[in-house]
């Protein structure tokens, strides 16, 4: 449970509406130039709401507004901000103010801010920070951002097995002033975690009981190198509130708490969704027109190249098309339906690999199911297309070509949609990125080839 | 921190590999018919791992394997299972055994199991359960599954403001035997929550201190009707570990803990991803061939219908196509690139609406950015297509048609990709479902019309 001040005591309901309202009030007070009232309003808000406000404000005035916040609140708001917003706020901030704010932050959050600055600027700020904190922050900055080391915090309480409840409560009094501690870690002589004691057991146990009697020995640990996606999977699988992080020698060096993992899960989901649509979350880091275009163009150009291959296949059949031009009217139906059914099965497969619903042990079952699905969908769409072609042009041969080609195109698309992501996954290539263009292009080419090839053969025989 | 037994004491790393190994061992022991050893192996596993094992096993033998689990472990494993797996296990289970297992479960999890059974079967099981628990479960069953009431648990400890630390610790001793309690709720005379006390403060405070002095008054509450997506947003925004749930009169009726919210976030992300790809998470509830086909067909058929409209547009220009048949070779390039760029911008917009990065206050900024992006992407792809057409067919007019049409098609697609989801969102229609087919179809039709229309005009003039 967080300890933040709140304007209303009891807030509920629409977070987004609150955000809109705060934005309006801020602009109004800025217009009235009543900075004193704005300062009072803002310093009563929650850090997360302030972070959101910063993101919504025009970049030019973020610094002014942020300058009105008290240090500790500024620190918490900054910890909640995304990379792009954070950078726009701190880039031109005086090093002394920034170091004061970072002193107030948890070391992992402070490391996240500094890691995005120029090396030189970051060192200047680190020099101004309190020595002990600066060292912790510097250690954390050494880790990759999306690993256990990158998202862990060094804030935790660890005790030895022999320590008594009375001793542990003393430790708690000294160290837990302004943070909420729900558990203590128990370590052995080498500093390796051997158990965990939920604090409620301290409250109810006798003062002389040693930790070894109270602790639960069931520990899931991760290392500094563990990928954050795997960490999210562990939290969600085992319903954890925190996991200890150990170094190469198995010694306790930090912990990851579930609130950070919630953010990781949201982030990873967004990243996956962006990748599947052929762009990347770089868009959010650099939301300028050119930043967005840079994220999207590679995929578009690869697909454009692929579509020229489809065009080449059409060119091969120019003679057939010229003879029966109405065949051209069904090209969009073949490519669109093939493309869409490929998108469906590849999306389900890629997502299944992330959530663990598809894995090597289940490959055969997954493939068999998709083949069955392809048959059902192919027959349904093929029949619909056949009927449409027949009703429209009263041309039975075109109807047969469209129907059969659609069935085959869908079957190929659906099966490729399962196989290609699984193959890429096994090769160690991210299926979310790689499978999209590959499946779309292959699909279009094969679908068109089947359709026009079939038409050429049938027309040659019967017309 | 969870309290589950574990085979290895300290497990880390690849959750998925563990799952594969357990599946293999199970099949081996089943083949050897050594059920006694299998019983020993399974009863040392974690509930989440057992739930995963059940899902991976063939449906026919799930009941046999599940029957080997001790009641309390069976209860926890069932609580971790997805709807489809749960149903396949409990459908044919003897009501007496099922009621024993449900008695061991937290009331919210038990309600989730029963809600999926036939009404009659559920009532039979409820009758066999312990009276008090059965009542709680029945109350919880009345709520919609994806609301605060549906995901909350009634397990919590609440105390009055006047209660002392000593009294609260006594309550903790009585009620917290086998569960981990990290905080107590404080309520007023009407039962409305007014504060929260983290248990570590009980451990460090004097015995006579009243709750009103220890509690934090900053409470974010939700109601039984609050949508789970909004709840997930609140947790992630304010970094909460639990929120109290209140009824219409503001009285405390339950709480939602972050471990359930982690699952909600994963679920909602999967749901969104499925919807954007034109299918639904019904696929996972009913993963049979017909279940999957039923989820996917509606979208495919709508798009098929749309593609006939594209075909009709092509038909209008049959004369132009017959004259310059190579125009047909660029149809895939126009529709694929338009489709892909529309997919990119609509995906980013739909996801942004979920995460709160796009909202009505930011509409203008978002649209302006996408128009700028459309211009950059359109010029790049248009130039590439123009060059390709020129190099390929040495036909400058076709090159101009392809280039200009591509630029226009992309511009229309990108802008529609932002506007349509925002419009649907404002109309209260889920943009993730509705915007896909609409954008794809509109795009194809407009792109083809622009391309062939332009070609007809230019050819008429210059050839």
Q: At A66, is the pLDDT very low, low, confident or very high (cuts 50, 70, 90)?
A: very high
Q: Is the ipTM, as predicted for this complex, more than 0.85?
A: no
- The architecture of the domain spanning B15-143 is Alpha Horseshoe (1.25)
pLDDT at B5: 34
Instruction: Determine the 3-state secondary structure of A407 from DSSP.
Output: helix
Q: Which CATH class is domain B282-462?
A: mainly alpha
| Overall residue count recorded for chain B in this entry | 463
Which among A287, A303, A336 is the nearest to B440, CB-wise? A336
Give the integer Cα–Cα distance in Å for A32 and A351.
50
Q: Report percent pLDDT > 90 for chain A.
A: 29
Give the integer Cα–Cα distance in Å for B143 and B115.
10
Q: What is the pLDDT of residues B323-382, one digit of tens each?
A: 888 899 999 999 989 988 998 898 888 888 877 777 666 778 888 888 899 999 999 999
Which among B1, B217, B263 is the nearest to A240, CB-wise? B1
CB B306, CB A241: distance < 8 Å: no
pLDDT at B9: 33
Q: Any idea where the domains of chain A sit in the sequence? A: 15-142, 158-276, 282-462
Taking CB atoms and an 8 Å limit, are A218 and B3 in contact across chains? yes
The pLDDT of B55-63, averaged and rounded, is: 85
Instruction: Determine the 3-state secondary structure of B177 from DSSP.
Output: coil
Q: What are the DSSP calls for B395-429, one per residue?
A: -HHHHHHHHHHHHHHHHHHHHHHHHHHHHHHHTT-
B74-87 in b/e form (b: 16+ CB < 10 A) is: bbbbbbbbbebbbe
Q: At A9, is the pLDDT very low, low, confident or very high (cuts 50, 70, 90)?
A: very low
Task: Count Cβ atoms below 10 Å from residue B213 Cβ, excluding itself.
Answer: 14
Which among A12, A440, A444 is the nearest to B221, CB-wise? A12
The pLDDT of B128-156, averaged and rounded, is: 85
Q: For residue B214, give the DSSP letter.
A: H
Q: Report percent pLDDT > 90 for chain B.
A: 29
Q: For residue B69, give the DSSP letter.
A: S
Give the distance from residue B198's alpha carbon to the nearest chain A alpha carbon, in angstroms: 7
- Fold classification of A15-142 is MgtE N-terminal fold (1.25.60)
Question: B193-198 and B183-187: which strand pairing?
Answer: antiparallel
Instruction: Determine the 3-state secondary structure of B184 from DSSP.
Output: strand
CB A377, CB A386: distance < 8 Å: no
Rg (CA), chain A: 30
Q: What are the DSSP calls for A208-238, one per residue?
A: T-BHHHH-B--EE-EETTSBHHHHHHHHHHH
Give the integer Cα–Cα distance in Å for A462 and A455.
10
Give the integer Cα–Cα distance in Å for B115 and B126.
11
Q: For residue B179, give the DSSP letter.
A: S
Instruction: Determine the 3-state secondary structure of B154 from DSSP.
Output: coil
Give the integer Cα–Cα distance in Å for B453 and A265.
47
Q: What is the pLDDT of residues B232-249, one digit of tens each?
A: 888 888 888 899 999 999
Give the integer Cα–Cα distance in Å for B17 and B63.
24
Q: What is the pLDDT of residues A211-252, one digit of tens each?
A: 999 998 888 899 999 988 889 888 888 888 899 999 999 999
Distances (CA, A) of B367 to A282, B194, B348, B362, B418: 18, 43, 12, 9, 7
Q: At A177, is the pLDDT very low, low, confident or very high (cuts 50, 70, 90)?
A: low
Encoded tokens for A151: 């998202």
Give the distance from residue B124's alpha carbon to the nearest chain A alpha carbon, in angstroms: 31
Q: For residue B193, give the DSSP letter.
A: E
Pick the residue from chain A with its C-alpha nearest to B344. A277
User: CB-hemisphere CA count at 13 Å for B270?
Assistant: 21
Q: For residue B227, give the DSSP letter.
A: B
pTM exceeding the 0.90 threshold for the entire prediction: no
Identify the CA nearest to B216 among candidates A10, A259, A73, A175: A10
CB B242, CB B185: distance < 8 Å: no
Q: At B7, is the pLDDT very low, low, confident or very high (cuts 50, 70, 90)?
A: very low
Task: Count Cβ atoms below 10 Å from residue A306 Cβ, excluding itself.
Answer: 21
Instruction: Determine the 3-state secondary structure of A11 from DSSP.
Output: strand
pLDDT at A410: 92
Identify the CA nearest to B338 among candidates A335, A449, A382: A335
Give the distance from residue A9's alpha carbon to the nearest chain B alpha carbon, in angstroms: 6
For A:262-281, CB contacts with B below 8 A are: 262-263, 265-266, 269-270, 272-274, 276-279
Q: At B68, is the pLDDT very low, low, confident or very high (cuts 50, 70, 90)?
A: very high
- Highest mean pLDDT: which of A397-401, B170-174, B209-213? B209-213
Give the distance from residue A74's alpha carbon to the nearest chain B alpha carbon, in angstroms: 15
Q: Which CATH class is domain A158-276?
A: alpha beta
Give the integer Cα–Cα distance in Å for B226 and B148.
5
Tell me the sheet residues that pair with B246.
Answer: B223, B252
B61 and chain A in contact, CB less than 8 A: no
């Amino acid at each position: 449970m967080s300890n933040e001040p709140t304007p209303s005591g009891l807030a509920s309901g629409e977070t987004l509406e609150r955000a809109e309202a705060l934005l309006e009030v801020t602009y109004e007070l800025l217009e009235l130039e009543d900075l004193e009232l704005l300062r009072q309003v803002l310093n009563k808000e929650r850090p997360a709401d302030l972070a959101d406000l910063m993101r919504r404000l025009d970049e030019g005035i973020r610094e002014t507004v942020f300058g009105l916040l008290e240090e500790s609140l500024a620190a918490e708001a900054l910890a909640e901000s995304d990379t792009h917003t954070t950078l726009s706020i701190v880039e031109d901030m005086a090093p002394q103010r920034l170091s004061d704010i970072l002193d107030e932050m948890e070391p992992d959050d402070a490391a996240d801010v500094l890691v995005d600055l120029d090396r030189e600027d970051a060192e200047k700020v680190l020099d101004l920070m309190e020595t002990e904190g600066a060292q912790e922050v510097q250690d954390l900055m050494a880790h990759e951002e999306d690993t256990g080391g990158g998202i862990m915090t060094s804030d935790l309480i660890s005790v030895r097995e022999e320590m008594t409840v009375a001793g542990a409560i003393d430790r708690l009094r000294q160290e837990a002033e302004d943070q909420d501690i729900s558990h203590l870690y128990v370590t052995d002589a080498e500093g390796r975690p051997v158990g965990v004691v939920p604090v409620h057991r301290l409250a109810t146990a006798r003062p002389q009981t040693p930790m070894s009697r109270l602790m639960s020995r069931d520990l899931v640990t991760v290392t500094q190198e563990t990928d954050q996606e795997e960490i999210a999977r562990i939290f969600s699988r085992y319903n954890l509130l925190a996991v200890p992080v150990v170094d190469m020698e198995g010694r306790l060096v930090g912990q990851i708490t579930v609130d950070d993992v919630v953010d990781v899960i949201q982030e990873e989901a967004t990243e996956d969704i962006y990748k599947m649509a052929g762009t990347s979350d770089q868009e959010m880091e650099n939301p300028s027109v050119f930043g967005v275009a840079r994220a999207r163009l590679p995929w578009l150009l690869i697909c454009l190249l692929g579509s020229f291959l489809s065009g080449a296949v059409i060119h091969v059949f120019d003679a057939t098309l010229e003879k029966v031009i109405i065949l051209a009217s069904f090209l969009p139906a073949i490519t669109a339906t093939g493309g869409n059914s490929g998108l469906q099965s590849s999306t389900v497969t890629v997502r299944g690999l992330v959530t663990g619903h598809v894995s090597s042990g289940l490959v055969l079952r997954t493939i068999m199911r998709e083949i069955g699905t392809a048959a059902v969908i192919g027959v349904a769409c093929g029949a619909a297309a056949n009927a449409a072609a027949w009703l429209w042009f009263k041309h039975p041969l075109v109807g047969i070509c469209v129907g059969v080609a659609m069935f085959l195109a869908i079957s190929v698309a659906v099966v490729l949609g399962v196989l290609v992501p699984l193959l890429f996954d096994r090769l160690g290539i991210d299926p979310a990125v790689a499978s999209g263009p590959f499946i779309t292009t292959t699909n279009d080419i094969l679908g068109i080839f089947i359709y026009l090839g079939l038409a050429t053969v049938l027309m040659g025989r019967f017309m």
